[in-house]
Amino acid sequence: NTMSLDWGYTDDNGPSTWAEKYPLAAGARQSPVDIDTSKATSDNSLVDREIDWSYPSNCSYRIVNTGYGWRVDTYGDDTALSGGPLSEVYKLEQFHCHWGATNDEGSEHTVDGKSYAAELHLVHWNSEKYSSFKEAASQPDGLAVLGVFMEIGNADNAELEKIISLIPKIIHKGQDSQASFDLDFGSLLPESKHYWTYLGSLTTPPCNECVIWTVFKEPITISERQLEVFRSLKSVGEEDAIEPEEGKLVKNYRPPLPLGNRVLRECGP
Ligand SMILES: NS(=O)(=O)c1ccc(C(=O)N2CCc3cc(O)c(O)cc3[C@H]2c2ccccc2)cc1
Ligand SMILES: [Zn+2]
């Protein structure tokens, strides 16, 4: 029926079922992973190769309810991500977030088995080597995603508040809102640039193994109220007449997959 999505985060269409329709989900280079800090190697290939980003301060954005969460599409012209594990310059395509029903789960990557309450993903594509995001997404070095852990703090995150204030306009799947605000990405990222990096995949179907992952060690903070606003999003469209409490997007994270024989590198203590 129209209500059954071909993938999602419920018991009948969640991560353990994805490989049935999306065979890549069963690959050996999947994401997320549990970051076993004892396995991280700090070889000097990354030493002082800081991750460098430059994002515009004032830009127009489109926030959309994908049915799996909110996503802010940027018009990545004057954005650039380089350094760290990256050999080319990548452009910012979009950013989005994953969270759970309670604060003790929600992040996709975990650190020595610990989950954070949410995880922000800034998705970039290799615009030096490929001509489009879609083309890049079929290449092993096509995408570079920055992962930022989010933990609950007393204060609101002021930058995120600019995004959260738009969520009431996109409660239902498919709704979007155009906004131009001066987003200071610098404060959506932690102060410390220390990170782990490894080769992985999209964490949603079709799970393409096209992502160079960089996960910052230091979390940023978000308030409980702000996280509750995320959970108020609906995974169904306005026309899907269901009970008010049904269809709430309380959980949209994929649990960790085995690192296998992949190398996990770190930069900074
Ligand atoms: N969580 S994540 O690994 O950081 C991630 C990154 C990019 C994307 C992404 O931008 N797209 C494009 C829109 C889209 C819509 C879907 O319904 C879906 O299941 C996946 C995506 C992915 C996507 C990227 C590349 C090729 C196909 C799909 C999704 C997730
Ligand atoms: Zn993501």
Q: Find the 58 Cα to ligand 2 centroid distance in Å.
A: 24
Ligand 1 contact, 30 CB (< 6 A) = no
**pLDDT at residue 2, rounded to an integer:** 47
Q: Please tell me the distance from the alpha carbon of residue 170 to that of residue 2, in angstroms, as a whole number.
A: 20
Q: E strands along 29-116, which residues?
A: 34-35, 51-54, 58-65, 70-73, 80-83, 90-99, 110-111
pLDDT at 269 over 90: no
ipTM of the complex: 0.95
Collapsing DSSP to helix, strand or coil, 131 comes out as coil
Indicate whether this model's pTM tops 0.90.
yes
> Which DSSP helix (H) or strand (E) runs through 213?
strand 211-216
What does the DSSP 8-state code read for residue 254? P
| Closest atom of ligand 1 to CA, residue 93 | 10
| Closest atom of ligand 1 to CA, residue 205 | 19
- Average the pLDDT over each of 151-160, 183-192, 221-230 and give the range with the smallest value: 183-192
Inter-residue contact 106 to 118 (CB < 8 Å): yes
Q: Please tell me the distance from the alpha carbon of residue 190 to that of residue 220, in angstroms, as a whole number.
A: 6
pLDDT at 41 over 90: yes
**pLDDT at residue 233, rounded to an integer:** 96
Q: Which residue, 206, 158, 141, 175, is CA-closest to 63?
A: 175
Tokens of 204: 């949603």
**Cis ω before 206 (30° cut-off from 0):** yes
Q: Find the 149 Cα to ligand 2 centroid distance in Å.
A: 12
Among 204, 215, 249, name the best residue to mutate to test ligand 1's pocket (greatest count of ligand atoms within 8 A of Cβ).
204
pLDDT at 46 over 90: no
pLDDT at 261 over 70: yes
**pLDDT at residue 4, rounded to an integer:** 64
| Closest atom of ligand 1 to CA, residue 98 | 1
Q: What is the pLDDT of residues 60-106, one digit of tens each?
A: 789 999 999 999 998 767 899 999 999 999 999 999 999 999 999 99
Is the CA virtual torsion 62, 68, 69, 75 positive or negative?
A: negative
Ligand 1 contact, 235 CB (< 6 A) = no
Reported as a pLDDT band with limits 50, 70 and 90, residue 231 is: very high
Reported as a pLDDT band with limits 50, 70 and 90, residue 49 is: confident
Residue 224, C-beta contacts closer than 8 angstroms, at least 6 positions apart: 103, 152
Alpha carbon of 259 to those of 58, 78, 110: distances in Å? 38, 34, 12
Q: What percent of the chain has pLDDT over 70?
A: 97
Q: What is the pLDDT of residues 116-162, one digit of tens each?
A: 999 999 999 999 999 999 999 999 999 999 999 999 999 999 989 99
Q: Please tell me the distance from the alpha carbon of residue 173 to that of residue 146, in angstroms, as a whole number.
A: 25
pLDDT at 181 over 80: no
Reported as a pLDDT band with limits 50, 70 and 90, residue 1 is: very low
pLDDT at 3 over 60: no
- Nearest CA, atom 13, ligand 1: 66
Ligand 1 contact, 124 CB (< 6 A) = no
> Beta strand 220-223 with 143-153: parallel, antiparallel or unpaired?
parallel
| Closest atom of ligand 1 to CA, residue 203 | 3
pLDDT at 5 over 50: yes
Q: Please tell me the distance from the alpha carbon of residue 250 to that of residue 102, in angstroms, as a whole number.
A: 8
Tokens of 198: 């490894």
